[in-house]
Structure 1
Amino acid sequence: MRLASVLCALALLGSACSHSQSEKSSGVRHLLYWEKWTDFEGEAMARVVDGFNAKERARAKAEPGYRPIEVEMVIISSIEQKLLIASAGGNPPDVAGIYSYMTPGYADKGALTDLTELAERDGLRREQYVGRYYDLAVHRGKLWGLPTTPASVALHWNKRLFREAGLDPEHPPETLEELDAMAEKLTRWEVTLPSGEKVFKNGYLPDVPESRKRLVQAGFLPSEPDWWSYGWGFVFGGKLLEGDKITAASPENIQAYTWVASYTKKLGVDPVQRFRSGFGKFGTSQNPFLAGKLAMEMQGVWMYNFIKKFADGMQWGAAAFPAPAAHPERHGTANAEVDDLVIPTGSKHRDEAWAFIKYTQQPEVMEELCLGQRKHTPLAQVSEEFYAKHPNPYIRLFRELGASPNAWSAPKTGVWNEYGRELSTAADKIANLTLTPQEALSQVQERLQVSYDRDRQIFLRRNQ
């Protein structure tokens, strides 16, 4: 193992030396860019890279002696782990595309370059962006990255299933209570009568034994998909972190997960588990929403792409997620995150990396990228041409939700990965009625406060 590590280190060193010599002989400044996206999203960023490289080559032709920058984009899986390992080993890429929730932990570990002065020098200011998307790269008063492609979530509904249940297909729920009532009407079972005949009935059917009914269509399931199972408290006014206090077990969060558990209580643990076991993978035609097994669900701006690919004729809509009737001011509560471009600590080409990041922030470049990834732009000013070209008919909605004061994101803490996992596990236990919301969330709060305090002490010692 030791020999392998030495050989690997020598190989990397040899590669670096060879690359450095190649740069000197060719006059090109080579920039290594790690990106996480694949498929059409990766292709959209590749076109941006090609545009930057072409512009650099053109400048080199027009200005004798100018050494052009050439960006090489490399697709990296599991970038959350690999980028930190590369930075700790002193061999990071020059620039990287990361998820915004990674930024606080990486910054606290000293793995990112502070971009505050560079942005101020070149006139890149917060007012040029949707505030939330810019702020997600700000931690402890410093700017660690700049946004590229954002995403927010909204309630998606199947208009055909609405129509079949006697509901207005153009009228999504406006309150949480209305969503619950619609979900009941949209829930459908195959019921076996005493005679053995099978019939279909709608509703929760509490008087029919579980042994005689099979769930074939759900109106709504808070646990589907389970990507944001940690975030239901925001709909009820909850928070996950206030100051230095973990607040997983706040009254608002307990109220939220009591609501989550109410769906399992009405449907039954076993029927829901059997129903979900028949779901296909997300990016397939057997996705429960695309297959018509789930009438309403919370999904992101990207869902249009999968509807177009796997259920092109589907009649669907998207709307802001409803709030409890007693709190209309919470209407449109939505998760909003963004991809950030960062310069890892130890980048050998900081100025060149910044030049590339700055290029991506130009309105025409940003709109090209966001159109290619079929998302909305994080910039404050958007051209009408962008909306006219965009294939998603609800793209303005997703932008509004991302800019809303009710938008929420992962709390800025270095222990977020652990916190998110713990909350997701707790949400599963609550949904399966294994633990009460009070029990599950109190356990999370107690464990994570210890982790948070330990992480904070490490940060303070590192920065003394």
Structure 2
Amino acid sequence: METMKQKKALVLMLTTVMLSSMLAACSGNKDNNGNASPSASPSAPASGSASASASPADEPVTISYWHIYTDGPMKDLTDQLLKDFHDQHPNITVEQLGVNFFDYWTKLSTAMAAGSGPDLALNDTSTVPSRAKTGAILSTDDFIQQDGVNLGDYFPVLVDLMKYEGKMYGMPNDTDVRVLYYNKKMFTDAGLDPNKPPANWDELEQYADKLTKWNDKKMLDVIGFSPALGNLHLWTLAWANGGGFWDDEGKPTFNKPENLEALQWEKKIQDKYGVKAMSAFNSQASALGFSPFIAGKAAMIVDVNNLYQEIKTRAPDLEFGVAPIPYTKTPASWSAGFDLELVNNKDDKRAAAAWELMKYLTSADVQVKIHEASGSLVSNMKAAQDPKFMEDPNWKMIVDQMQYSRFIEYIEAMPSWHGNLDPVEQAVLNSGKDPKEFLDGAQKNAENAVANFNKTK
């Protein structure tokens, strides 16, 4: 049975593979129903940049906006936001389409390839270069300059990711970050200071030993910490150990010593529990349908900030704290996220209107509402760091970790490299395979992928 971490990894891998394989030849107009029209606007930009003065501000225009909000608070908020936007811009009619997360990426990439994509699309921040390079999306530089949008209001790591060859493509919408959650009551019961979470790997291991509880059948009742639970992944620990998987020239470094040390440490922790006990624990955790941390079955876990919202809903009385991910050499976390992009439908008028909606949705006031509805880590720092949110020490700790967070590198020669790395980690942790042997194998596969890509250039 898959572990929760494996399921999350699969989602991440599938999402990235689908997005990075997007066909970028977006051409032709579409009518208000989203159908392809036979010809493009004669004023269509040919350089992948949108014109900031395409049409008079009061000229009627209809645009389409695609997203993943199909139900719940975010669907209700999106409906309200679009109504408010229309009140402010009565000349702009927005036709929205919400598609569930798992179907959205295929539908979006297929539509864009056919030239019938939306004017404004929610997309994956980590793969912006794949679309910018081929002209599938438009640069927003002219709009940003014209309207005086301050990119300094947004998390720097997100702004950097949205640039290709020095130009900005779209605007960041929201992100996430990984942190360490720890059960304060369990800390106290084990004789640990509930206000002093582990700061490094040695402390993390020591605390985990004290917090782990076995039952009379030699099975795990409470696990102190497992790198296989939550949303940690090998690359995070490698970064925290001064490692990495690609050098500045885009060459793979999968088997560098720091990465091997991280994988060996993971195996050391996992081996303490044994395959049989860990397998039984994973089966019980998967059956829960929610995090074992919430259920009181894991004393510490690394997971995304969304877990904080889930705790508030499912276990509001849980005594817990949030801390940085323990590290050996370098503070590190990792993020993923969504942005808003102008699809290149070769229509300046619609692009200009879509920019107005993009600017509105990423403004501080609106992003405060988005956080209030979803609990997400919005991209606008003024919103994410609003004083009324930062009064919460746990939220403040979460936001503060963005200064150390990284995105998985987008490597054109191997866009899904992290998806290929996960099976290596799982084989070592769950099947007792040799860390060096499997990292060497991953290194060889990456070298082959780069070599094959270079032959096509």
TM-score range normalised by the length of the shorter chain = 0.7 to 0.9
Structure 1 residue 70 corresponds to structure 2 residue 94: yes
Using the alignment, how far apart are the partners of 2:443 and 2:135 within structure 1?
Answer: 27
Name the counterpart of 2:274.
Answer: 268
What is the CA deviation profile of residues 437-456 of structure 1, one whole-angstrom value per residue up to 9, with x for unaligned ones? Answer: 22222222222233345446
Match for 2:311 among 307, 310, 318? 307
Change (3 A) 1:103 1:216: same
Instruction: Verify: 1:342 aligned to 2:341, yes or no.
Output: yes
1:289-319 CA-to-partner distances (Å, cap 9, x unmatched) read 1111111011122112111221122111101
What's the counterpart of residue 114 of structure 1?
A: 139
- Counterparts of 1:110 and 1:320, CA distance in 2: 39
Deviation at 1:218, TM superposition (A): 0.7
- CA gap of 1:383–1:311, structure 2 versus 1, over 3 A, is closer
- RMSD over aligned CA atoms reads 2.9
In the TM superposition, what is the alpha-carbon distance from 1:347 to its structure 2 partner? 6.1
- 2:399 corresponds to which residue? 399
Quick one: structure 1 residues 456 and 54, their matched pair in 2 at CA, closer, same or farther if it must change by over 3 Å?
farther
1:136, distance to aligned residue in structure 2 (A): 1.8
SS of the residue 1:173 aligns to: coil
Whole-angstrom distance in 2 between the partners of 1:383 and 1:425: 35
Aligned pair in 2 of structure 1 residues 140, 260: CA closer, same or farther (>3 Å)? Answer: farther
Which amino acid letter does the alignment assign opposite residue 228 of structure 2?
S
Q: Which amino acid aligns with 1:93?
A: P
Q: Calculate the TM-score normalised by the size of structure 1.
A: 0.79
Alignment TM-score, normalising by the size of structure 2:
0.80
Aligned to 2:265: 259
Instruction: List structure 1 runs of 4+ shifted beyond 6 angstroms.
Output: 17-20
1:238 and 1:250 in contact (8 A); partners too: yes
Deviations 1:352-401 (A, max 9, x none): 111111122322122222332213443344597x3315796422222211
Counting only pairs closer than 5 Å after superposition, residues 246-395 of structure 1 correspond to structure 2 as 246-280=252-286, 284=289, 286-324=290-328, 327=329, 330-331=330-331, 333-346=332-345, 348=347, 349-381=350-382, 386-388=386-388, 393-395=393-395
3-state SS of paired residue (2:448): helix
Provide the rounded CA distance (Å) in 1 between the counterparts of 2:277 and 2:261: 24
Change (3 A) 1:228 1:342: farther
From the CA coordinates, give the structure whose radius of gyration is larger. Answer: 1
Cα distance in 2, alignment partners of residues 264 and 350 from structure 1: 52
Do residues 225 (structure 1) and 226 (structure 2) align?
no
| Aligned partner letter, 1:74 | G
Whole-angstrom CA distance in 2 between matches of 1:454 and 1:29: 46
In 1, Cα distance between the equivalents of 2:454 and 2:363? 37
Number of residues paired by the alignment? 404
- Aligned partners of 2:324 and 2:224: how far apart in 1? 17
105 and 68 in structure 1: CA distance in 2 versus 1, 3 angstrom threshold: closer
Aligned to 1:92: 117
Match of 1:29 in 2: 61
**Percent of aligned positions with the same letter in both sequences?**
22
After the TM superposition, which residues 158-177 of structure 1 pair with which residues of structure 2 at under 5 Å, given as runs?
Answer: 158-177=183-202
Matched, 1:124 2:149: yes
Q: Which structure 2 residue ranges, 5 or more long, are not aligned?
A: 1-29, 39-58
Structure 1 spans left out of the alignment, 5+ residues: 1-11, 21-26, 58-66, 193-212
> How big is the shift at 1:82?
2.6
Q: How many angstroms does 1:414 deviate by?
A: 3.6
* Mapped contact 1:264–1:433 kept (Cα < 8 A): no
Contact kept? 1:93, 1:347, Cα under 8 Å = no
